[in-house]
Amino acid sequence: MPITEILARNADLYGPEKCLTEINLDLQEKHNVTWREYELIENSPAGEYRREITWRVFDEKANRLANLLLKRGIKKGDKVAILLMNCLEWLPIYFGILKAGAIAVPLNFRYSAEEIKYCLSLSESVGLIFGPEFIGRIENIFEQIPQVKMLLFAGENRPSFAESYDRLTANCSSEAPQIKLTDEDDAAIYFSSGTTGFPKAILHPHRSLMSACYTEQAHHGQTRDDNFLCIPPLYHTGAKMHWFGSLLAGSKAVLLRGVKPEWILRTVSEERVTIVWLLVPWAQDILDAIERGDVKLEDYDLSCWRLMHIGAQPVPPSLIRRWKKYFPHHLYDTNYGLSESTGPGCVHLGMENIHKIGAIGIPGHNWEARIVDENGLPVPQGKVGELAVKGPGVMKCYYNDPEATAEVLKDGWLLTGDMARMDEDGFIYLVDRKKDVIITGGENLYPVEIENFLRGHEAVKDAAVIGLSDKRLGEIAAAIIELKPGAKCTEDDINAFCAQLPRYKRPRRIIFDDVPRNPTGKIEKPRLREKYGAARLVADQTER
C-alpha cells in the first residue's frame, strides 16, 4: 500500500484534528512578545511564529499540488525537487508530488548553487519548489538548468523567474487525482550526506517508505495520544522516517525551527510533546545548559515526555548516563540507519535494552543484519567486519550509477561501509566508517572508539579523530577536541586522560578546535583532513 493512502485514510478518519504544528521561536523572540501575543500581531510576516494544519487540510494541500503538477504535464515517474527549510508546507508538498505519481527529490538546504545544480542534473529533475531562503542561489543557476521546466516559489515576494506555489495551487482541485500507485513504483530520490565526496542519488520505491512506517511504529509504539517533536531537516530520511510512525498512528507532530536547549524544552512543555528525536550535539547542549544553570528543569512541565531517542551517528555511552541522571523516567533508544536503507531503523537498540548502551543494537523490525569480511562471508562472533543489512527498506539503486550500485548491493544485502562487531548476545557495536579506519604502524585504529573515550572527559564537549600522514608509522591519530564553554583543559590534561588507553590507541596529536558536523549530526571529517592534513604537510616541508 503506497504511503499516500495512509494520508488519505487519516484525512477521512481524523479530518478536523490538528496534525502538524510549526513553531518558529527565533521569529517570536525577535518580536519580544509572548507566544499568544504573537498570533495577534497584525500583518505578521510569512513564516508566522506558530502555525498549524489539520489532517484534512494536509491532504487537500497535497491533492492541489498533485493536480497542478499533472495539469502542467508532469507525468508518472518525473522528478520534482524540494528545496525548503523545515516549514508547514514541506510535507504537503512532498505528498503532493507522490500523489501525482512523480518522484520527490528533497535537497539539502545547505547546498551551494553549484551543488543544487549538480543534484538537479543527476536526478533529472523537471520541477523545483523552493523557499525564500534560496532565491539568491536559484537566481544564480536557473538559466543553467534547462531541464527544469517548472520553478515554483513557496513564500511571499516571488522572484520574477519563478511562479507562485500558493496562487497556482489555490486554483486547483482538492480532490485526489486518479493516479494508480503500487508498492514497487518509484517514490523518492534522496542524496547521500556527501561526507565522503559528492552525494549519490538514492532511489527508493513506495515499498521503502511503507517499510519505514511499520518499522518506526513497531520500535517506538506511537499511538493516537503521542506528539512527536521533529527538529532535524525534513530533506533527510532520518527526521521524516521517524515522523512516518506518527503518520501511521494518526498522531500529532511539531516542527521546531531551531535547536536551542530552552526552545526544545519549552516546546515539549507547551505542546505536550511525548517523543523527541535528538542528534548527539543537541542532547549534549541540553545537558550542558542544565549543568551551567542556563535552563532549570523545574521551569518546564515535561511530564508528558516519555521517549528520547538518538540516531545519525555513534552515541557515547557517557552521554546517555548523563541524560538518565536528569531524565531518569525517559525511555531511550538508539537508531542506526542510512539513506540507502530508508533512514533509521534497520538496526536499533530497543527501549528495553538500555543496559546495552554503546551498541547500535539488533536488527530492526523486518530487517536482517550480519558482519562480513572482504569476501562477503560472515566473520566470527566478536571480530570486526563490515555491517551488511537486508530488508524491505533497502534502496532500489543509486540512480543512473550501476557501478556504484553493484559495489554495495550483493544478493539483496546492502553493504553499509560501516565497520562493526557483534557480541555474544547478538548486539552490534559500530566501530567506524570503513574509509575512516586509521592504520598506524600496521595496527588498525577505529576513531569512533577513541572519540567515545575522549567525550568521557568532563571538559570535552565533542571530539573527532582523524588520520594524518606520518613518515615512520604511515598514519597517526590526531584528536580534534571541542571544549565545553568556559572549560579549561590543556594538551597535557588530555594526554594524561588518554593514559587509560592502550598505547597504540592514544592520539599522537591533540588539536583544540570546533568539531564540524553536517545538518544530520555526522562529523565532517573530510573538512578536518583538508584543514589539518594540509597544515601537517606544510609543517613537514618546513622541517625539511
Q: Are residues 420 and 442 in the same domain?
A: no
Q: Which three cell numbers stand for residue 123?
A: 536526478
The mean pLDDT value for 401-414 works out to: 95
The residue among 18 and 42 whose pLDDT is bigger is: 18
Q: Residue 470: which CATH number?
A: 3.30.300.30
Contact 268, 229 (CB under 8 A): yes
Q: Are residues 17 and 121 in the same domain?
A: yes
Report whether pLDDT(38) > 70.
no
Q: How many CA atoms lie within 13 A of 144 on its CB side?
A: 14
Residue 457: other Cβ atoms inside 10 A? 20
Structural domain ending residue among the three candidates 408, 433, 458: 433
For residue 512, the surrounding DSSP H or E stretch is strand 509-512
Q: Are residues 451 and 504 in the same domain?
A: yes
Q: Are residues 445 and 527 in the same domain?
A: yes
Predicted local confidence at residue 279, as pLDDT: 84
Report whether pLDDT(35) > 70.
no
Predicted local confidence at residue 196, as pLDDT: 45
Is 532 inside any structural domain? yes
Is 338 inside any structural domain? yes
Predicted local confidence at residue 27, as pLDDT: 60
Contact 193, 238 (CB under 8 A): no
How is residue 456 annotated by DSSP? T
Q: Which three cell numbers stand for residue 483?
A: 571544549
Exposure letters 505-541 (e unless 16+ CB within 10 A, then b): bbbeebbeeebbbbbbbbbbbbbbbeebbeebeeeee
Q: Are residues 399 and 490 in the same domain?
A: no
Is 146 inside any structural domain? yes
Domain that holds residue 336: 307-433
Q: Taking the chain, what is the end-to-end CA distance rounded to the nearest angstrom?
A: 66
Confidence of residue 322 (pLDDT cuts 50, 70, 90): very high
Exposure letters 168-193 (e unless 16+ CB within 10 A, then b): bbeebeeebbebebebebbbbbbbbb
Is 500 inside any structural domain? yes
Residue 17: other Cβ atoms inside 10 A? 15
Beta bridge partners of 80: 104, 127
Q: Residue 394: which CATH number?
A: 2.30.38.10
Amino acid letter, 481 = I
pLDDT tens for 188-216 read 999 986 544 578 999 999 999 999 999 99
Strand order across the 474-483 sheet = 460-470, 474-483, 509-512
pTM of the predicted model as reported, rounded to 2 decimal places: 0.82
φ/ψ (deg, to 5) at 331: -75, 155
Q: Are residues 64 and 119 in the same domain?
A: yes
Contact 394, 414 (CB under 8 A): yes
Distances in Å between the Cα of 100 and the Cα atoms of 180, 349, 455 are 9, 37, 48
Confidence of residue 239 (pLDDT cuts 50, 70, 90): confident
Is 74 inside any structural domain? yes
Nearest to 172 by CA among 69, 249, 272, 46: 69
Structural domain ending residue among the three candidates 374, 400, 433: 433
Report whether pLDDT(47) > 70.
no
The mean pLDDT value for 119-139 works out to: 96
Report whether pLDDT(544) > 70.
no
Predicted local confidence at residue 441, as pLDDT: 61
Q: Are residues 166 and 69 in the same domain?
A: yes
Report whether pLDDT(394) > 80.
yes
Confidence of residue 37 (pLDDT cuts 50, 70, 90): very low
Q: Residue 55: which CATH number?
A: 3.40.50.12780
Is 15 inside any structural domain? yes
Instruction: Name the 3-class secondary structure at 429.
Output: strand
pLDDT tens for 427-466 read 999 886 777 778 776 567 878 888 888 998 999 999 999 8
Q: Are residues 173 and 54 in the same domain?
A: yes
pLDDT tens for 500-537 read 887 878 999 999 999 988 766 778 887 888 888 744 43
The mean pLDDT value for 128-144 works out to: 96
Q: Are residues 329 and 456 in the same domain?
A: no
Q: Are residues 362 and 476 in the same domain?
A: no
Is 354 inside any structural domain? yes
Contact 256, 231 (CB under 8 A): yes
Report whether pLDDT(2) > 60.
yes
| Separation of alpha carbons 332 and 310, rounded Å | 8
Q: Which three cell numbers stand for residue 465?
A: 579523530
φ/ψ (deg, to 5) at 73: 90, 5
Q: Are residues 429 and 332 in the same domain?
A: yes
Predicted local confidence at residue 520, as pLDDT: 62
Report whether pLDDT(95) > 70.
yes
Confidence of residue 175 (pLDDT cuts 50, 70, 90): very high
Predicted local confidence at residue 436, as pLDDT: 76
Confidence of residue 30 (pLDDT cuts 50, 70, 90): low
Predicted local confidence at residue 45, as pLDDT: 40
| Separation of alpha carbons 497 and 480, rounded Å | 15
Report whether pLDDT(539) > 60.
no
Is 121 inside any structural domain? yes
Distances in Å between the Cα of 494 and the Cα atoms of 459, 464, 469, 482, 488 are 10, 14, 21, 12, 11
Counted domains in the chain: 3
Q: What is the mean pLDDT of the chain?
A: 89
Amino acid letter, 393 = G
Q: Are residues 421 and 475 in the same domain?
A: no
Report whether pLDDT(312) > 90.
no
The mean pLDDT value for 76-92 works out to: 96
DSSP assignment string, 273-310: --EEEE-HHHHHHHHHHHHHTSS-GGGS--TT--EEEE
Predicted local confidence at residue 46, as pLDDT: 35
Structural domain ending residue among the three candidates 402, 433, 464: 433
The mean pLDDT value for 52-70 works out to: 98
